[in-house]
Amino acid sequence: MVLPVGFGLLWINPLQAQVLPDGTLSTTVSQSGQNFTINNGNRVGGNLFHSFSQFSVPRGGSAFFNNALTIQNIFARVTGETVSNIDGLIRANGTANLFLLNPSGILFGPNARLNLGGSFLGSSAQSVLFQDGGQFSASNTMASPLLTMSAPIGLQMGTNPGPINVQGAGRATILSGFSIVSGLTGTNGLQVASGKTLALVGGNVTLNGGVVVAPGGRIELGSVMSGSVALTSNTNGVSLSYPNATSFGNVQMTQRALASVQGVRSGSVQIQGKQVSLRDGSIVAVQNLGSQKAGDIQVTATEAVNIIGMSSDFRSSSGLINETLGTGAGGNIILTTPNLTVDQGGYVVTRNFTAASGGSITVNANDVLVGGILPGSKTDPVPVSAVLVAATYGSGKGGNLLLNTQNLSVVGGGYVGTRVFSTGAGGNTFVKADAVRVSSFGTGDDPSLVSLISANSLGAGNAGNLHLDTRTLSIQDGGVVSVSALHRGNAGNLFINASESIDISGVKNSSNPSYIGAVARIYDVRPIPDSKANAGNITINTPTLNIRNSGTVFVANQVLGNAGELTIHTDELRLSDRGSISASTKVGEGGNISLYVRDFVLLRDQSKITATAGGTGNGGDINLKAPFIVGMGDSDIIANAFKGRGGNINIVTQALLGLKYRDHLTPENDITASSEFGLSGTVQVNTIGTDPNAGLTELPVNVADASQKIATGCSSTQGSQFVATGRGGLPPNPNQELTSDRTWNDLRDLSAYRGYSSTVVVQPAIQPMLVQASGFQRNADGSIVLIANPVSVSNSSIATCSRV
For residue 782, what pLDDT band results from cuts at 50, 70 and 90? low
Beta carbons within 8 Å of 317's beta carbon, 6+ residues apart: 175, 176, 281, 309, 310, 311, 345, 346, 347, 384
What band does 758 get if pLDDT is binned at 50, 70 and 90?
very low
Q: What is the pLDDT of residue 643?
A: 75
* pLDDT tens digits along 648-672: 899 999 999 999 999 888 999 999 9
Please list the alpha-helical segments (H only) found in 113-182. Answer: none
Q: Choose among 99, 104, 139: nearest CA to 122.
A: 99
Pair 498, 528: CB distance under 8 Å:
no
* Alpha carbon distance 578, 766 (integer Å): 78
Q: Which residues contact 518 (CB under 8 A, 6 or more apart)?
A: 482, 483, 484, 491, 493, 494, 535, 536, 537, 538, 554, 555, 556, 564, 566
Which whole number is the average pLDDT over 251-278? 95
Name which of 119-123, 177-181, 732-736 the model is least confident about. Answer: 732-736
Domain residues of the chain, as ranges?
159-377
Look at strands 480-485 and 452-457 and give their pairing.
parallel
Give the model's pLDDT for residue 562.
76
Residue 789 binned pLDDT confidence (cut-offs 50, 70, 90): low
| Plot region of 648 (φ>0 → left; ψ -120 to 50 → alpha; else → beta) | beta
Would you give the DSSP letter of residue 557? E
Mean pLDDT of 49-72: 97
Nearest to residue 386, comparing CAs of 350, 348, 338, 417?
348
Mean pLDDT on 475-479: 93
Query: Which segments within 440-560 are labelled E, that is strand?
Result: 452-457, 466-476, 480-485, 494-505, 507-508, 512-513, 515-520, 538-548, 552-557
- pLDDT above 60: residue 369: yes
Instruction: Read off the pLDDT of residues 315-347 as tens digits, 9 standing for 90 and up.
Output: 788 999 999 999 999 999 999 999 999 999 999
Cβ-in-10-Å burial (0-12, 13-18, 19+) of 747 comes to exposed
Residue 511: which pLDDT band, with cuts at 50, 70 and 90? confident
Distance CA 760, CA 429 (A): 77
pLDDT digits (tens, 9 = 90+) for 295-308: 999 999 999 999 99
Residue 2 has a pLDDT of 36
- Asked if residue 377 has pLDDT above 60, the reply is no
Query: What is the CB neighbour count within 10 angstroms for residue 786?
Result: 11
Average pLDDT over residues 141-157: 83
User: According to the model, what pLDDT value does residue 640 have?
Assistant: 83
What is residue 257's DSSP assignment?
Answer: -
pLDDT greater than 80 at residue 309: yes
Model confidence at 689, pLDDT cuts 50, 70, 90, reads: low
Residue 761 has a pLDDT of 43
CA distances to 291, 590, 657, 698 from 695, rounded to whole Å, are 78, 37, 12, 9
Q: Show contacts of 24-32: CB within 8 Å, 24+ apart.
A: 24/51, 24/79, 24/141, 25/49, 25/50, 25/51, 27/51, 27/52
Q: Which residues pair with 44 in a beta bridge?
A: 47
Mean pLDDT of 569-593: 89
pLDDT given for residue 591 in this prediction = 82
Where is pLDDT greater, at 96 or 616?
96
The SS3 assignment for 223 reads: strand
Question: What pLDDT is attached to residue 599?
Answer: 97
Write down the mean pLDDT value for the chain.
84
How confident is residue 775, by pLDDT bands cut at 50, 70 and 90?
Answer: low
Residue 539 has pLDDT above 80, yes or no: yes
Write the single-letter amino acid at 226. Answer: S
Start-to-end CA distance of the chain, whole Å, equals 114
Q: How confident is the model at residue 8 (pLDDT cuts 50, 70, 90)?
A: very low
What is the per-residue pLDDT for 762?
45
Query: Pairing between strand 512-513 and 507-508?
Result: antiparallel
Highest mean pLDDT among 137-146, 219-228, 477-486, 753-762: 219-228
Is it the case that residue 717 has pLDDT exceeding 90?
A: no
pLDDT at 793 exceeding the cut of 50? no
Q: What is the pLDDT of residue 435?
A: 98
Do residues 375 and 381 touch, judged by C-beta distance below 8 A? yes
pTM, entire model: 0.83
Q: What is the per-residue pLDDT for 529?
A: 53
Eight-class DSSP state of 274: E
Query: Which of 158-162, 276-280, 477-481, 526-530 bottoms out in mean pLDDT, i.e. has the lowest?
Result: 526-530
Segment among 376-390, 399-413, 700-714 with least mean pLDDT: 700-714
Which stretch of 58-72, 175-189, 346-360 has the lowest confidence by average pLDDT? 175-189
Above 80 in pLDDT, residue 704? no
Query: If we measure between CA atoms, which residue out of 606, 602, 636 comes closest to residue 622?
Result: 636
Kindly indicate the confidence band of residue 776, based on its pLDDT and cuts at 50, 70 and 90: low
